Amino acid sequence: MAVLGAGCAGAAAAYALARRRIAPVVVDTSRPDGAVPASAAVAVQSGTPADIRLAVRSAERFPELQDAIGGFGYRRTGGLTVALTDADAEMGRARAAQAGAAGLPVAWLSREETLRREPGLTEHTAGAVYCGYDGVADPGALARRLLAAALGFGGATHLDCGYISIARQNGGFRIRTGRDEIVARRVVVASMELLGMAVRQLGAGPPARSGRRRVAVTERIAPLLRHTVNGIRQHPSGELVLDPPALVDEGATAENARALVEALRRIAAAAVCLVPGVEPARIIHAPLLVSAEPADGRPAVGRLEDDLYFALAGADRAVTYCPVIGDAIADAVSRNRWPDGLDIWAPGRFAVVAAGAGTAGGLGPDRGVQDSSQGS
Amino acid sequence: MNAIERHVVVVGAGPAGLAATGEAQAAGARVLLLEERPVLGGRAVLVPGARGLTEGLMRSLGSAEVWRSTPVWGIAGRSLAVLRAQRIDTVTGAAVILATGAPEVMMPFPGWTLPGVLTLEAAWDAVRAGRVTAESGPAVVVARGEHAALATRLAERGLAVTLVAPDRPNGVPAAIPVLPGVPAEARGAGAVEEVLLDDGVAHPCRLLCVESPRVPAVELARLAGCPCVYQPLLGGFVPRYDPTLAVHGPTPGLFVAGDAAGVDTPRAAAESGRLAACAALHMLGLLEEPDAKMAEARQRLAAAASPLRHAAREALMLGAVPDEVIEAWAPRPDTTVCACEGVRLDALRQAAVAGAVTPDALAAQTRCGLGDCRWRRCGPPVIRWLSEFLQVPAGRVPLPSLWPPLRPLPLAALLRADAETDAGRA
């Protein structure tokens, strides 16, 4: 069994497989060491009720996971999606009511209740959608811990391996890397870029899109935020991660620093508007995260061919969904069954494109992009 | 936010930047000089012999526009994002000359992060700003050759000074005792109180000034996408450039000069600034008799540049600190390497043994390099240590990832830009 991709999704798949005594080999061209020290949100609020249900199922796993594999900075902060206008409030209230009716742990908080729980917020808030399951975790540490635990159950890793190519051989796969050659009967592809590679070399796959967004990390400041608020969160170290929900694309070859200034200005304005107390802080670094995800932005988990699986969590949801995805892949491989509710992520929702028809959405072999799991 | 455009924008006001600015100004170009610090002259202030050169270069600036206290924190193409008086501006040059110098980087030893332990540059800054008085002493200065002038200056300010150097440099008065050795440990509660030399003898001091290796500052070039290559002869990683000092990379019109290009000595740095300015002016069609001027500038640089004294060493460092001092660098496991985040060498070693063998991986696991200074202080020692740990040449150790802003950027400054833009629209 080989797992291509050592991000959160790949590491979770490897861990779940190893626990079921299917020792996997994890292969990646890099290693899970994001240059970005940001914590990724375990954001359960976005998406459809079905997505939220899976996210909650995942979030429930984090405490025990942390006990089992060691700390990865997981903290359940609770999350607020703050409304600033009455119109936003109306929409938020409706969303919360809908989710509540579906039995999900999502609630609408009045303005007073919102401010009581999160005194750092602007007084101009009109209330907020609240979910107690939201939290933060360090994606790099999570992937490393999962891989280390998988090794403990007999798995193996081939990281930093330069390049990866894959070919069919005798009913299985031959995976060539910059260092070794691995023969595997079954393969899980857990990285959009590596899927692009596999698609080019093997056949069909789901369409992809890539996106870039600027995230700003401030210096350490005194505790200011308790919750994750519209993508703004405070790392245990005290750093604030300002992660705008809207994708801000500066253009790949911006010839003018104005685009950079504008992107940071939007991030700063959004943050100060919501949490006035951040204004004295300074931005220490603002990485441009490049990530690839399935074309509709939702996770894709399933089987491409009999012995070729994929597990793609999407750019900013790798942390959120990785426990569920790991278990799903392991169950599919070991018992040939998929867990309930996962059919919403099945690849059947795409018109799966044949190889060579631009399936990979322009993803080149260049590994200059940030691993999606280290994204947010 | 103001968008400013000039023919030539020069970053850094050391000898190279000053000379480049003067040359471009004399040719009639609209030129803007950006300097991060409040004073001009760069590290030439460390070399008393370079004072005449620096003063001459400053006179040559004429009416050129100079922005002091203006750090450049971002770059895209030939367009720079700067922080000036707590506001954000963008500055675009038809040509941009990066003369960002090579700041001193202290090699960590136990106690180096204590207040009162300074590089020579920082010590000279303090002296010039009038922050050093007789009460600031006693001082121990670790410096060789002409750099020992700091000891003389401190003594003139009334401090009791001890100089640590292999022999008595010229011009150091007999009243200043000279000892051989290297600092092994700085000790003190809250601030440095004494320094232990490698012979085990402690010397009391409230100011410990340690001459440190200088490392070319290539962050802007890297951020602009220019490939930086490891050149031991040029002091470490420097941008790849052609004989006219034009930088290879995605953007034409970027030049590099001075210490940032590995050109040592203030005089050679100044000549390299002139050459870069000539090449930039030539590109812009602003240079009369270009062939003759370019040939002359190249000749003058060749005449001024002497081969580095300590060639072909596998260290990252440029300039005055000799090989044996850098090679003898053997920090204790409990030595703090990353001062911003308080990361000790044993933590780095533990992470490296577990497989984190790049600066980025060490950052992810130990937070090394993630503080305010973003690897500026700990980057070179960490790369040197990793090269030793992995037993590969320093050039094979990957550089840490780099993102804007290169300097901490106040949110308030970004919002001020906002207010101004809105006012402009209204």
Last residue of a domain, one of A114, A131, A148: A131
Please name the amino acid found at residue A242.
L
- Give pLDDT tens digits for B27-38: 999 999 999 998
Quote the ipTM score.
0.89
The mean pLDDT of chain A is 83
**DSSP letter, residue B323:** H
- Give pLDDT tens digits for A279-333: 999 999 998 877 778 888 788 888 887 788 988 887 678 888 999 999 999 999 9
Residue B221 has pLDDT above 80, yes or no: yes
CA distance linking residue A64 with residue A40, whole number of Å: 18
Say whether both A20 and A139 belong to one domain. yes
Question: In the prediction, which pLDDT does A251 show?
Answer: 57
Task: Out of A255, A283, A285, name the one closest to residue B411 (CB).
Answer: A283
Contacts of A224 in chain B (CB under 8 A): none
Q: Is A91 on the interface with B (CB under 8 A)?
A: no
CA distance linking residue A350 with residue A201, whole number of Å: 20
- Give pLDDT tens digits for B153-212: 999 999 999 999 999 988 899 999 999 988 999 999 999 999 999 899 999 999 999 998
Name the residue range of residue A4's domain: 1-73+134-209+293-376
Residues 6+ apart with CB under 8 A from A182: A2, A25, A27, A158, A174, A175
Percent of chain B with pLDDT over 70: 90
Residue A266 has pLDDT above 70, yes or no: yes
> Which H helix or E strand runs over B410?
strand B409-410
Q: Is A258 on the interface with B (CB under 8 A)?
A: yes
Q: Is B410 on the interface with A (CB under 8 A)?
A: yes
Q: Is A284 on the interface with B (CB under 8 A)?
A: yes
- Give pLDDT tens digits for B92-104: 999 999 999 988 8
Q: Do B76 and A259 touch (CB under 8 A)?
A: yes
Say whether both A303 and A340 belong to one domain. yes
CATH number at residue A84: 3.30.9.10
Q: Is B92 on the interface with A (CB under 8 A)?
A: yes
User: Which of A264, A278, A370, A373 to probe by mutation at the B interface, max B CB count within 10 Å?
Assistant: A264
Contacts of A237 in chain B (CB under 8 A): 367
The mean pLDDT of chain B is 88
**DSSP letter, residue B214:** B
Contacts of A35 in chain B (CB under 8 A): 360, 363-364, 400-401, 403
**Tokens representing A13?**
């798949």
Q: Do B1 and A258 touch (CB under 8 A)?
A: yes
Cα distance from A184 to chain B (closest Cα, Å)? 25
Q: Which of B316, B311, B281, B317 is nearest to B297 (CA)?
A: B281
Q: Is B374 on the interface with A (CB under 8 A)?
A: yes
CA distance linking residue A130 with residue A126, whole number of Å: 13
**Tokens representing A194?**
């590596």
Say whether both A32 and A179 belong to one domain. yes
Say whether both A172 and A44 belong to one domain. yes
The total of other beta-carbon atoms located within 10 Å of residue B149's CB is 21
Residue A354 has pLDDT above 70, yes or no: no
CATH number at residue A29: 3.50.50.60
The total of other beta-carbon atoms located within 10 Å of residue A359's CB is 22
Say whether both A339 and A232 belong to one domain. no
Q: Do B371 and A253 touch (CB under 8 A)?
A: no
Q: Which chain B residue is nearest to residue A271, measuring alpha carbons?
A: B411
- How many domains does chain A divide into? 3
Contacts of B355 in chain A (CB under 8 A): 31, 159
Last residue of a domain, one of A260, A286, A312: A286
Question: In the prediction, which pLDDT does A145 show?
Answer: 92
Residues 6+ apart with CB under 8 A from A319: A8, A40, A41, A42, A137, A139, A142, A373, A376
User: Which range, of A7-11, A122-126, A309-313, averages the lowest pLDDT?
Assistant: A309-313
Cα distance from A38 to chain B (closest Cα, Å)? 9
φ/ψ (deg, to 5) at B3 = -105, 110
Please name the amino acid found at residue A141.
A
Contacts of A279 in chain B (CB under 8 A): 411-412, 415
**Tokens representing A178?**
């910059």
Q: Do B370 and A37 touch (CB under 8 A)?
A: yes
Say whether both A13 and A115 belong to one domain. no
Say whether both A174 and A96 belong to one domain. no
CA distance linking residue B179 with residue B67, whole number of Å: 42
Question: In the prediction, which pLDDT does A362 show?
Answer: 31
Q: Is A260 on the interface with B (CB under 8 A)?
A: yes
Alpha helices by DSSP H, listed for B135-204, are 149-156
Residue A163 has pLDDT above 90, yes or no: no
How open is the CA angle B78-B262-B145, to the nearest 5 degrees?
140
Say whether both A102 and A251 belong to one domain. no
Please name the amino acid found at residue B345.
L
Q: Is A252 on the interface with B (CB under 8 A)?
A: no
* Segment A60-82 mean pLDDT: 91
Say whether both A25 and A153 belong to one domain. yes
Contacts of A270 in chain B (CB under 8 A): none
pTM: 0.87
Percent of chain A with pLDDT over 90: 39
CA distance linking residue A48 with residue A55, whole number of Å: 10
Say whether both A139 and A45 belong to one domain. yes
Beta strand A282-285 pairing with A239-242: unpaired
User: Which range, of A118-127, A344-353, B348-357, averages the lowest pLDDT?
Assistant: A344-353
Q: Which chain B residue is nearest to residue A30, measuring alpha carbons?
A: B361
Residue A316 CA to its chain's centroid (Å): 4
Residue B414 has pLDDT above 70, yes or no: yes
Last residue of a domain, one of A239, A257, A286: A286
Q: Which chain B residue is nearest to residue A220, measuring alpha carbons?
A: B371
Exposure letters B281-303 (e unless 16+ CB within 10 A, then b): bbbbebbeeeeebbeebbebbee
- The dihedral through the CA atoms of A273, A274, A279, A282 has a sign that is negative
Cα distance from B90 to chain A (closest Cα, Å)? 6
Residue B82 has pLDDT above 90, yes or no: yes
pLDDT category of residue A361 using cuts at 50, 70 and 90: very low
Q: Is A179 on the interface with B (CB under 8 A)?
A: no
Q: Which chain A residue is nearest to residue B412, measuring alpha carbons?
A: A279
Q: Which of B390, B331, B417, B140 is nearest to A272 (CA)?
A: B417
Question: In the prediction, which pLDDT does B425 show?
Answer: 43
* Segment A368-372 mean pLDDT: 33
Task: Out of A33, A254, A288, name the one closest to residue B364 (CB).
Answer: A33
Question: In the prediction, which pLDDT does B27 show?
Answer: 94
Give the per-residue SS3 of chain A. CEEECCCHHHHHHHHHHHHCCCCCEEECCCCCCCCCCCCEECCCCCCCHHHHHHHHHHHHHHHHHHHHHCCCCCEECCEEEECCCHHHHHHHHHHHHHHHHCCCCEEEECHHHHHHHCCCCCCCCCCEEEECCCEEECHHHHHHHHHHHHHHCCCEEECCCCCEEEEEECCEEEEEECCCEEEECCEEECCHHHHHHHHHHHCCECCEEEEEEECEEEEECCCCCCCEECCEEECCCCEEEECCCCCCCCCCCCCCHHHHHHHHHHHHHHHHHHCHHHCCCEEEECCEEEEEEECCCCCEEEEEECCEEEEECCCCCHHHHHHHHHHHHHHHHHHCCCCCCHHHHCHHHCCCECCCCCCCCCCCCCCCCCCHHHCC
Say whether both A83 and A69 belong to one domain. no
Say whether both A55 and A162 belong to one domain. yes
Q: Is B77 on the interface with A (CB under 8 A)?
A: yes
Question: In the prediction, which pLDDT does B3 show?
Answer: 80
Place of tokens 């533990």: B350
